[in-house]
Chain A
Amino acid sequence: MLDFTQQLISGVALGCVYGLIALGFVLIYKATEVVNFAQGEIMMLGAFMSVTFITTLGLNYWLSFLLCVIAMAILGAIMERLVLRPILGYPQFSIVMATIGLGLVIRALVGIIWGTDDLRIETPFTDGVFKIGALVIAWDALSIIVATILLCAALYAFFRFTRVGIAMQATSQNMLAAYYMGIPVKRMFSLIWSLSAMVACAAGILLAPITLIHANLGFLGIKAFPAAVLGGFGSIPGAVAGGITIGIVESLSGFYLPEGFKDVAAYVVLLAVLLWKPQGLFGLNAVKKV
């Protein structure tokens, strides 16, 4: 039982990271109908940036976190402006290829700037543990879970109550009508990319202490993708729930099942869920009006 709880908690922590990356997929997809395959690389870039701020410049963890997120917000908007805006309206295929290309460019740049060695950062949570009886929870894991809850609450409030947040929803629900309302749709697209890069960056920094920081971190995006699909690709709570589900499944199957199952478990769960509920766990039942 203790093992189970232990695995469950680390699964939830890892799942939160998947969930945050999936959230980035969903935000961009909902607003612009583009699947951004560079999401994992953007997360990786965030993690590497934190190395520069924390290790190289020796800044405080919290300040570095904030600076990274701000920098990523700006980079996100720049990526949208330079890569996506010019090809908006072209076939999906071109756009998907452009985002894959963007991911490759980020990978290459990271290799050039930070090298190919594994890096790590010191955080206030490093080596700290939290004990409940025999149960040992690493602060690292706990920090991810708490930060995910806070981020989701902030995002919920943003989309539910602020004018810009509602305008983003409006844009994603009906772009033409958003134009007619005087909502600057193109600026909304930049904002969505900023927001999604910020979330990815936060995920990267939170993840850094439990894995090492290396150029392959971007592949986690591929794992977060089934999380987004599982949640219904288009549902924000669904993305997080999907991420946590996959995190738990991975963690438990890694512990209880023979070697190798861990890596495919996510996809097995995804296929099973899609057979049972093709629209995903939280997907909207309505078929989109064209």
Chain B
Amino acid sequence: MTMGTAQPILRLANVESTYGPITAIRGISLDLMQGQIVTVLGANGAGKTSILKTISGVLDPVKGTVEFEGRKIRSMEPDKVVRLGISHVPEGREVFPFLSVRDNLRMGAYIRNDSKAVASDLEKVFDYFPVLRERQNQIAGQLSGGQQQMLAISRALMSRPKVLLLDEPSLGLSPLLVKEIFTIIRRLNAEEGVSILLVEQNAKMALETAHYGYVLEVGRVVMHDACANLLQSDQVREFYLGMHSEGGHGGRR
């Protein structure tokens, strides 16, 4: 990790987004360094998903700036954001249920015109997730939850993103599958050099996977540090990892 010298590939500064009268995130600033995995932790409703939606252009912020590779992308149409190189794996998978696995993946490459490279990328994602190769002609709605998650990640990779936004990849999966998915997330980061912004409720898994972490509470960043340090922090240990710290502020809950 070369922190400090590197430029962030994705930078949010004082971003505020609302759903009508409800403010989802209030003044979030966040950096994703090139080649890193950054995680955003927080309880349900803390605004994690809203951050990702704001980046991908589905949610328009009312304040602040979003920069990708030094370029302002705030309020850009979602399809333009994908073309720039940001790919979003939404919460709950959101595969196209009546399209075949293969067609789902083809849609992931919708923005690309280099059909040869697309074909070789298809082989590559099949190597990462062999079960998808076996089931490529099945319709996606028939896959299990874990397989759908694999499909959602693969589909996002098919656009050859520079940044991958992952929303709760562990949601509803068995511990074994969660482990498998996170192993592949780590490999994608190391082998393909994709920078990843990971939103997770499974704090332990996320902190063990990511390089840097942000802790979110009701729409605000309350803490950010390298994951190694966050894992040692009493507050994180108590509230997000469910461990009782010896001494410290025990009675606060």
Is B43 an interface residue when CB atoms closer than 8 A count as contact? no
Give a binary string over A167-194; 1 marks a CB under 8 Å from any B CB, 0 the rest: 1011001101111111111000000000
Please name all residues of chain A whose beta carbon is closer than 8 Å to the beta carbon of B58 when the two chains form the complex.
Answer: 176, 179-180
- By secondary structure, the B interface counts as mixed
From residue B253, how far is it (CB to closest CB) to chain A in Å?
35
* Given A166-B107, A170-B107, A182:B83 Cβ within 8 A: yes
Is B211 an interface residue when CB atoms closer than 8 A count as contact? no
Taking a contact as CB atoms under 8 Å apart, the answer to whether B110 and A182 are in contact is yes
Residues of A in contact with B, size category: 10 to 19
Give a binary string over A139-176; 1 marks a CB under 8 Å from any B CB, 0 the rest: 00000000000000000000000010011011001101
Please name all residues of chain A whose beta carbon is closer than 8 Å to the beta carbon of B65 when the two chains form the complex.
Answer: none
**Complex Cα distance A69/B98, Å?**
30
Smallest Cβ-Cβ distance to B94: which chain A residue: A177
Please name all residues of chain B whose beta carbon is closer than 8 Å to the beta carbon of A176 when the two chains form the complex.
Answer: 58, 90, 94
Smallest Cβ-Cβ distance to A182: which chain B residue: B82
Taking a contact as CB atoms under 8 Å apart, the answer to whether A166 and B79 are in contact is no
* Given A180-B82, A182-B83, A182-B111, A174:B56 Cβ within 8 A: no
Taking a contact as CB atoms under 8 Å apart, the answer to whether A173 and B98 are in contact is yes
Question: Residue B96 contacts which of A173, A182, A184 (CB distance < 8 angstroms)?
Answer: A173
Give a binary string over B89-114; 1 marks a CB under 8 Å from any A CB, 0 the rest: 11000111111000110111011000
Taking a contact as CB atoms under 8 Å apart, the answer to whether B110 and A173 are in contact is no
**Complex Cα distance A53/B200, Å?**
62
Size of the B side of the interface (Cβ < 8 Å), in residues, is 29
Taking a contact as CB atoms under 8 Å apart, the answer to whether A174 and B96 are in contact is yes
Interface of B toward A, CB cutoff 8 Å: 56-58, 77-79, 81-83, 87-90, 94-99, 103-104, 106-108, 110-111, 155-156, 159
Please name all residues of chain A whose beta carbon is closer than 8 Å to the beta carbon of B96 when the two chains form the complex.
Answer: 169-170, 173-174, 177-178
Taking a contact as CB atoms under 8 Å apart, the answer to whether B98 and A181 are in contact is no
Taking a contact as CB atoms under 8 Å apart, the answer to whether A180 and B56 are in contact is yes
Taking a contact as CB atoms under 8 Å apart, the answer to whether A184 and B90 are in contact is no
Taking a contact as CB atoms under 8 Å apart, the answer to whether A177 and B90 are in contact is yes
From residue A150, how far is it (CB to closest CB) to chain B in Å?
25
Taking a contact as CB atoms under 8 Å apart, the answer to whether A180 and B106 are in contact is no
Within 8 A of B (CB), among A3-27: none
Smallest Cβ-Cβ distance to B81: which chain A residue: A182
Task: Count chain A CB atoms within 10 A of each CB in B89, B96, B97, B155 and give the residue with the most.
Answer: B96
* Given A163-B110, A166-B99, A167-B110, A182:B94 Cβ within 8 A: no
Please name all residues of chain B whose beta carbon is closer than 8 Å to the beta carbon of A178 when the two chains form the complex.
Answer: 96, 107
Please name all residues of chain B whose beta carbon is closer than 8 Å to the beta carbon of A182 when the two chains form the complex.
Answer: 78-79, 81-83, 110-111, 159
* Given A180-B56, A180-B87, A166:B94 Cβ within 8 A: no
